[in-house]
Amino acid sequence: MAYSGQTEFEFHLLTKAAPQRPLSKHEIHQSLSSYSDVPLRIQLHENSQTLISFNFSSPRITTIRMHKGFLHATEPLIQALGQYIQKRDKNSWLQINEFAQTGIKHKAPDPAKKYVQQGDHHNLKELFSEINAQYFNDEVTVSISWGPKSKPVKQGLIKKKRRSMCFGHYSDINKHITLNRKLDHPAVEAEFIKYIIYHEILHHTIPSERVNGRWVHHSKEFYAAEKQYPNYAYMQKRSAELLRIL
Ligand SMILES: [Zn+2]
C-alpha cells in the first residue's frame, strides 16, 4: 500500500475542510500536469453515469474526462489523481472512486436552483433556526431544503412494504441538508422533523471518520451526541412507525 495510515488520516481531515471555492479547469490542469510525462487534456462534463475516465492510449496526450464535481478536489485527492496518472494503481483509484461516490453522486441540487424551504405543512427554515438556536448556539451555517417531490404512486399498484427510508441527507461538499419531501406530511410532527435536522447537523459537526479503510458515518461520538436529543427513544420508535405511514 502506497498510503500509510497517517496519510489517510490527513486525506480525511483535508477532505472535510473542503474549500468554498472550487478549482478552475486551468488550476486542476496545472496541478495534475506535474504528475504526467505527457501533456494532459482535461474535459469537464456533467454526465453522472461515468464520473471520470482516463484515456492513456495516445503516447502524445492523455485525456481525462471528469465530472465538474472534481473541481471541488482538495489536495489529497489531487495527489490521488496524480498518483493514478503515474502508476494506475488500485489504491489511488479507490480514493478517486470514493470521492466520486460520496462527493459527487450525492450532490445536492445546483445552488443556482432555488431551494424549497416552505413545504405544504412544514417550514424548514423555521425548524432549522429553532434547532440551531437550541442546541448549536446559532453557530451552524449549513443550508437546508426539501428534496424533490416524488412521483405519485399509480392507483392499482400495490404499495411496496418499505424497510428503510432516507429521511435526510447531509452533503459535506455543499454544506447542505436535504430532507425527504415525504416528511412534509400532516402526520409528521414538527418535533420529528426537528430531530432529523438535528441528526443531519451532527453529520456536519461530527464529520465521518475513516476506520480501516471504511467510512464510519455514525461513530460512537455521533451516537452519544444524538442520544442527547430529548425524547430520543420516542423518535427512534416514531421513525419505524413513519416508515409504514409515509
Ligand atoms: Zn446519519
Q: The domain that contains 192 carries what CATH number?
A: 3.30.2010.10
What is the distance in A from the centroid of ligand 1 to the CA of 61? 43
End position of a domain, from candidates 104, 139, 164 = 104
The CA distance from 209 to 215, in Å, is 6
Q: How far is CA 47 from the centre of its chain?
A: 18
What is the distance in A from the centroid of ligand 1 to the CA of 202? 8
The pLDDT score that the predictor gives to residue 161 is 61
Alpha-carbon distances of 187 from 121, 190, 206, rounded to whole Å? 10, 10, 30
* pLDDT surpassing 80 at residue 240: yes
- Residue-wise pLDDT tens digits, 219-235: 999 999 999 999 999 99
What is the distance in A from the centroid of ligand 1 to the CA of 192? 15
222 and 130 co-located in one domain: yes
The CA distance from 178 to 175, in Å, is 10
191 and 241 co-located in one domain: yes
Query: HSE of 104 in the Cβ direction (CA atoms, 13 Å)?
Result: 22
- Residue-wise pLDDT tens digits, 79-109: 899 999 999 988 888 888 888 877 776 554 5
What is the distance in A from the centroid of ligand 1 to the CA of 221? 12
Owning domain of residue 212 = 124-245
- Residue-wise pLDDT tens digits, 40-79: 999 998 877 788 889 998 889 999 999 888 888 878 888 8
* pLDDT surpassing 60 at residue 5: no
Angle at CA 79, nearest 5°, toward 75 and 84?
150
Domain membership of residue 221 (yes or no) is: yes
193 and 240 co-located in one domain: yes
